[in-house]
Structure 1
Amino acid sequence: MLDTPEEQAFDDIVFIASRTCDTPIALISLLDHDRQWFKARVGLDVSETEIAQSVCQIDIDEANVLVIPDLTCDPRTAKNPLVTGERAFRFYAGAPLVLRSGVVVGRLCVIDTVPRPEGLTPEQLTLLRALGRQVSDQLDLRRAGQISARLLELQSALIEIGECIRASEEAVEMTSAAAAVVGRVLQVERASFGLVDPDVENVDVEADWTAPGVASIAGRHRFADYGALRADLVAGEPLVIEDVATDHRTSANTAAMHALDIGALVNMPVRERGRTVAIFIVNAARPRTWTPDELLFLRSVADRLEAGVARLRAEQQQSILNGEINHRLKNMLAMVQAIASQTLRAVSEREPVESFERRLVALSAAHDVLLQKSWKDADLRTVAEAVVETVGFGDRVNLDGPSVPLGARAALSFSLVVHELMTNACKYGSLCMEGGHVELTWIIEGNAPNASLIVRWRERGGPPVVAPSRKGFGSRLIRLGLTGTGGTDLRYDPDGFEADLRASVEHLAQA
């Protein structure tokens, strides 16, 4: 409510209070840390005064009507500039403004410039109390509306932060985006994320978000330089300080805080395996009361960042592991190829040996494709392109079809089938003659979960086709189909060899 515009409901109440108590001045005074601010006023030309000049703050925690018949005679007010100065206040009566939570936030007061030894009549006191309750009810209604709007705002901010986390590929990008949202929503001067060393002695603050004109605190900071901050963070408890000048953990060393324009702060710990590994930092330049909703919001932000950073760390570790697996797999395939070459060196018929070596190369190409996807789904086109590039003749093979995800086993199987088809085309089919070409296309028929993939191989421009007299390993491999379960149709038409391979799309993705 502080510093909000005038409102008729409150203006009406001070007008009625002034008339009821027959005083020239009536005020709704709300007490802040360093001032009293008048939400509504009659007969006064200022909207606030320093808190030291406030008569309303006297005995405020007792929540009773305060009546001072002559302010010059009361030791609590006799030297008040409002009493001794040109305004010359003499009489005061104020009803407390008590919210439903029990908190007293100010008074509805009436003031006169002449003493009134008799004070207020019983009827005037009753009406002043009733009007004070009306002010309190109005404040509660607006507070409830503000809380509801605030909760919606915080919830929307959490959704926005979740989207930032999902879209981020680097931890710094993730934490910077979250800090920017938090800083904007909480209207603070600084928000940042920092990694904590194992002993919780230092924090390394990453690129932080700051309000315009506020300096960054990116870099290493020692907790002990700012006060007794470690104990809460070691225990995994939020470090919540509403005023660094009065809080026992920071009051002995406020200079370090003030040098960074910090009047209030929250350090929300991020835990991993029972240890604080990072903190989400929020700084306000002035003393500030952090509401339970704001602290819950910051806890949720820290939890989301913890999960997001853990995900990125796991993905990075998996990438390193995949690289090591790929390196060892290539070494193993090379070793198998070397052993096979040495073992089969004496074999006079070289064609089977060379076919075996080429199949190893096709497997290696498929493994490369899978590695790029972290051994998850590989796209059918990507696998086909890798095999065609390995065999050659890529300029004479036309690929066309929609994106189709293949599981690891299906990708390896498909790569071997395409390799056999390419090898046969190079030796006996359309690719063994100038001008010959291949159409490798695929379509999806039906709808999930019963959709089928149909891969079509068409050779044109080669020599007349003759069905083979015997079926070797390559032919048997092709007849096994995309996932080793059949579903093939081979046709040895004189104009060109044709093959149709059929499999379940759902099975291919899971294989």
Structure 2
Amino acid sequence: MTPAGFEAGQGRTRPVWDERARLAALDSYAILDTPPERAFDEVVRLAAQICDAPVALVSLVAGDRQFFKAELGIGVRQTPLEVSICAHAILRPGLFVVPDTAEDPRFAGNPLVCGSPHLRFYAGALLETAEGLPLGTLCVLDYVPRPEGLTAQQGFALQVLARQVMSQLELRRALKAREEDAARLAESERQFRVLADSMPQMVWATQPDGYHDYYNRRWYEFTGVPDGSTDGEGWNGMFHPEDQERAWIRWRHSLATGEPYEVEYRLRRADGVYRWTLGRALAVRDAGGRIVRWFGTCTDIEEQKQTEERLRSSEERLRLALGAAEMVGTWVWDVGTNRITADSGYARLFSVAPEAVAEGLPIEMLLPAIHPEDLPATEVAINRALAGEHDGVFEAEYRVLLRDGTIRWVNARGRCEHDATGRPTRFPGVVMDITERKQAEEGKELLARELSHRIKNIFTVVGGMVSISAAGAPAEVRSFAGVFRRRLNALAAAHEYVRPHSPESRPVAIETTLHGLLGTLLAPYEEAGAERVRLGGDDAPIGVKAATSLALIVHELATNAAKYGALAATEGRVTIAGERRDGNFALTWQERGGPPVEGPPQRRGFGTVLAERGAITQLGGTVAHDWAREGLTLRLEVPLERLAH
């Protein structure tokens, strides 16, 4: 079947309408050069959302231009006809889709395609009169090609919305005809009722004095009241008691002045639930300016009100959060257009003008503020988020160079959002000044180094005193002194494990495996010719945090063994074995050959409690003791992933 206004020929359809008739039909709607209207604006917003498009238009093709009754994302109300894609769309029936305008010879040279705003995709549904005359299109556009075009659901929705636009145009024309020709009043009212009953909004009308005498079908479906029961002033009883007086005052004001009526109130639904509703009405005047009718609509805006309330709550929480920290900034990066927009806090941290970053800047203009030593690692973190690694989560700490020459440390966090194809689209985040925290950490590190240095000096002084004291002594004394010095040196090396380290201060020479850690810590207890400590089983990588906790545990075990356990006796031995078990690592410490064990100790020292608590809380592990008479056996089990931290 060939659509109205088109005929088949040579395998295609071609328009049969006359251009003069088409332009006359467009002129009859008196829509050109009229200001924006909410009904049309809502249609383009909905079309953009359904089709996931940044640009949507209600485009009307006139003789020498195309006029946009409603637009989203284009920023102008009209363009010359020679750059109009819609002028081509009205020559074909149904949906007109151009997957890639740059590849289509009809549009490849179009300034809007090859230049700003670089429109690469187009899909338009005809705005067609009942006589088959095309007035324009409801269209959506994108900055990137869409080889797949629209989905079936999107195409259907776009055509439905186009019919809604035509319904709005027809309503305007019906109202215009009512004002211009009273002899056509009955037919106009009939058309109005048909259109009104097809609209999703509740439509009503009143006499000039405000007496309600008409409601469309949607009103009765929503309220559930009998036909005619809300004529006159009965409508006000349908409002929430708290809103009735306010609605009356606003309605009386419009009746007295002729000004448009607009008010939000809660309207009782058929099930008794009150829902927020937007009521609007306009006066219809005759040629002499006298009001002859009021026409109004009621639109359910409950979801919008709930969304606004959630948004207000969210914004309030954000304001409180930002107010609690002076040097906090937020940003949003539109990856497709490469524009970062941010608030004044971000502008302060990156030494850029607030008005410039509020308008949006490319990322290349902001990266130079990052310290050159920190920039490569930061770019790697950004690229990983863009690639979708770790669900697009981004976190980095780096220094920024302010214009006054000062350097500040910041922590940046965000998450890159991706579309269904995995392409990065939107990248919001927050950046926080952590300079004071970094300075505090540096102070703690400096103090730790100073204390470590002094402890090492003590080891050195004691070792020197032993060497001086052993000089000239008998051979057995010198041998003892040598063993003692080696133990002091081993204790000094073990101290490097136990003391807190920052990533920068951790010595490269320190082993990064469990066996390396244990070998260093237990070296002071070895004796020449006697294997006092045996280390075996599985090995595993170990991180800085885990090494500190394990060093405290092993140091405490070795100290207690030297005082009371296996290492206190000449024949005593300690065996340490590691074993990987289903994502965990089990470490067994076993003492044999020492004094008989009389059961668990009556009192546990502070060091033991501290060490075991670290194993449980910091490593997420478990500790079990077996106080057998022949010697202590301790079993420590921790997750492998925590061991590597």
| Fold match (TM-score > 0.5) | no
Alignment TM class, shorter chain as reference: 0.3 to 0.5
Give TM-score scaled by structure 1 length.
Answer: 0.33
Indicate the structure whose relative CO is greater, using CA pairs within 8 Å and at least 6 residues apart: 1
Give TM-score scaled by structure 2 length.
Answer: 0.28
